[in-house]
Homo-oligomer: A and B are copies of this chain.
Amino acid sequence: MKLKRPILLVNKVKCKRNIAVMANKAKEHSLIFRPHFKTHQSVEVAELFLEHGVEAIAVSSVTMAEKFASTGWNDITIAFSVNVNELEEINHLAQSNSINILVENIEAFSFIRKEINNNIGVFIKIDAGYNRTGVDYKSISLVDDIISVCAENTLLKFKGFVVHSGNTYQAKSPDEILEIHTTTVSVLNELKSRYIKKYPDIIVSLGDTPSCSIANNFSGIDEIRPGNFVYYDVMQYSFGSCRLDDIAVCVACPVVAIHAHRNKIVVYGGAVHLSKEYIEVDGDKIYGLPVKLSPNGWDIMPEGNFMKGLSQEHGIIHLQTEEIEKIMIGDFIGILPVHSCLTANLMKDKLLFVSEFSLSINSVYSKNN
């Protein structure tokens, strides 16, 4: 297959390995494995989860729930504080699917309660310290109030508590991630022990990829909802969540200019392909890491090669002399994304499994010269 423009290459072998590792970890700890599909948003990638018996998923919008419901995924948690403007769509989904919503506000939920006309599961979103959204875990009276409102409509079933420890993304080290995770686990256990007598089926669920990748203490936890791990990315690598070799996607970009004297190449591949997400290393902003494409995948370049700038459609890559000498205009180079969720969202209509194609990665130009 001949590449022409930027495309998202998905390495199925790595993808399947990442899924297997997480599925086995869930099994080992007797956790419900409810992968978050917001990262890949792909019906084809979703199918890779089937061989591990995955049936329950999480998504981050009603639109995504509709997409996956239409392709056979029937147990869906919409892991996003419910948008009251979409109750009609949620009711419709709940007609033939098992749908869970997230609630955190009593006034809004009192209204929602009246509008729901199909069976729906209700998780209370708990803020265990991230301070983004959710009920403060110490606000027991608010939790009680939400559970009471739930009881006023027999179609609503109180299911339990969810936390998304998004603050692990601000962590500076694996130890800090573990510290945040330990707090989350203890907050969820405290809530569980308070309500389990009255609700013996209660589920406590946590979600972020850094914790799920690094931690080994899931004592008392019932469910995990990681999403990013399916692809991983440079940011997760920088946290210690994965190895560089685990990153399962790259954006293949054609080289459009070479400025060897300043060790820079320009690729067709910019913010509209990768997103502007970056990590900072020694004062350099890094927007991605270049890899050498091969017919069936890619090889990692030595440290010191990185994408150093992005405009809308262009990317500037700093390459060491020994790397730049091997490249010609028109060749394709791969970029491991800093944040694969955002990259995959931008490239969701341009996804290609590398293992299924033998790629022609050298340009017409280089072949003719």
Contact = CB atoms under 8 A, between A and B. Distances in A.
Interface of A: 2-5, 38, 60-63, 80-87, 89, 104-105, 107-108, 111, 115, 131-134, 166, 254, 256-259, 262, 266, 268, 271-272, 275-277, 309, 311-314, 316, 328-330, 341-342, 345-346, 363-365, 368-369
Q: Which of A5, A272, A368 has the most chain B CB atoms closer than 10 A to its own CB?
A: A272
Nearest to A2: B85
Given A85-B363, A311-B166, A342-B272, A329 B107 contact: yes
20 contacts: A4-B83, A5-B61, A61-B313, A81-B257, A83-B268, A84-B330, A104-B257, A105-B258, A108-B365, A111-B368, A132-B309, A132-B316, A133-B257, A133-B314, A271-B277, A271-B342, A272-B345, A312-B342, A312-B345, A346-B346
Question: What 9 A-B pairs have minimum CB-CB distances, sorted nearest first?
Answer: A84-B330, A108-B329, A81-B256, A84-B365, A4-B85, A133-B266, A60-B313, A111-B365, A276-B276
A271 B275 contact: yes
Given A84-B329, A272-B345, 6 more contacts: A5-B61, A81-B257, A81-B266, A111-B365, A132-B266, A275-B276
Contacts of A4: 83, 85-86, 89
Given A133-B314, A311-B166, A342-B272, A330 B369 contact: no
B85 A330 contact: yes
Copies assembled: 2
A3 to B, nearest CB: 7
Contacts of A257: 81, 104-105, 133-134
Contact of A84 (B272, B309, B363): B363
B105 A60 contact: no
Given A80-B256, A80-B313, A277-B276, A87 B364 contact: yes
B83 A256 contact: yes
A272 to B, nearest CB: 5
Contacts of A166: 311
A107 B327 CA distance: 13
Contacts of A81: 256-257, 266
Given A266-B132, A313-B60, A364 B256 contact: no
Given A133-B266, A365-B84, A105 B312 contact: no
A65 to B, nearest CB: 12
A146 B270 CA distance: 27
A312 B330 contact: no
A105 to B, nearest CB: 6
B111 A369 contact: yes
A60 B312 contact: yes
Nearest to A338: B276
Contact of A108 (B60, B330, B341): B330
Given A83-B256, A85-B363, A256-B81, A312 B329 contact: no
A5 B271 CA distance: 24
A62 B313 CA distance: 11
Contacts of A342: 271-272, 276, 312
A365 B345 CA distance: 30
B275 A314 contact: no
